[in-house]
Structure 1
Amino acid sequence: MSTADAVRSLLLLMPRIVGRVKRLPVPEQLRDLDLDLAPRHLSLFAQLQYDGPLTVGQLAERLEVAPTTVSLMVAELSRRGVLVRREDESDRRRRIVAIAPDLADAIAEWLGGSARAWTAALADLTDAERFVVVQAFRAFQDALGVTET
């Protein structure tokens, strides 16, 4: 496939993918909280849903944003009861962040479709091919000048 053919295909596919993701219904429990959810919130939820409770530093590293950005998001979502913070048993100075137990199933269901779709799309690829897919998305993001804050 030529670069031009690949670009044409992706220009057709990307709006469809974004449109489908945007149509994923926000769980009723979160709608009731009247949150102004941005893509960065979805990424934070996805990290916690996929990998379980993490520290603010771990979340910042995975989300590729500053720890202060994560701290602000965690504080906002904790006040609303979406996230819970607890002491790290191994280091009481650190806080572990998790999705609130009463919202965990709703968030897992909400985000699970995307995780299952990515798993299916990447399952038959080699590690090297998966690396290329991820790098292509990163390069696309960089070429657009998109940064998360």
Structure 2
Amino acid sequence: MRKTLTFTVIIFSVITSSCEDGRITDLENSVSELTELNSKLIDSIQTLQEKNISSFYLIENLDNDNFKVNETSKIHFDFGYKNYVSEYDVYRLYGKNHEERELILKNQRLSEFDFEFKPENIDDDRIKLEVVMNINGIEWIIPADFQINVTE
């Protein structure tokens, strides 16, 4: 009888242990699957953000059709939609071949901004800007380049 009881306890322990091992294996597999799905979700979110940023464009809204030499005019800019966006800086490109860059707005958040422009001469008829956003360590540049009419 004692041998039967000992044998029953051993069998019960083995069955219980192997059931727990099976549950642990199932849980480990579930954790692995969830980790993989989480990684895919993070990649999908990043891809969506990249597609969203790469589709941005700037729209200039001019108060005047003509700009006068040595007279400051305000130009309003909007992104393709009005919303809060990732923090960005705005640079004006200037110089002979627009190779020089001047920071004109820093740490902007709204998807629109104003830029004041004062043409220095009648040939100063091109406005070239760059919006720079840093998202997850990647620098995104959104350009604006347009001609204006400048009069005396």
Would you say same fold, with TM above 0.5? no
The structure with the greater share of residues assigned to strand is 2
TM-score normalised per structure 2:
0.24
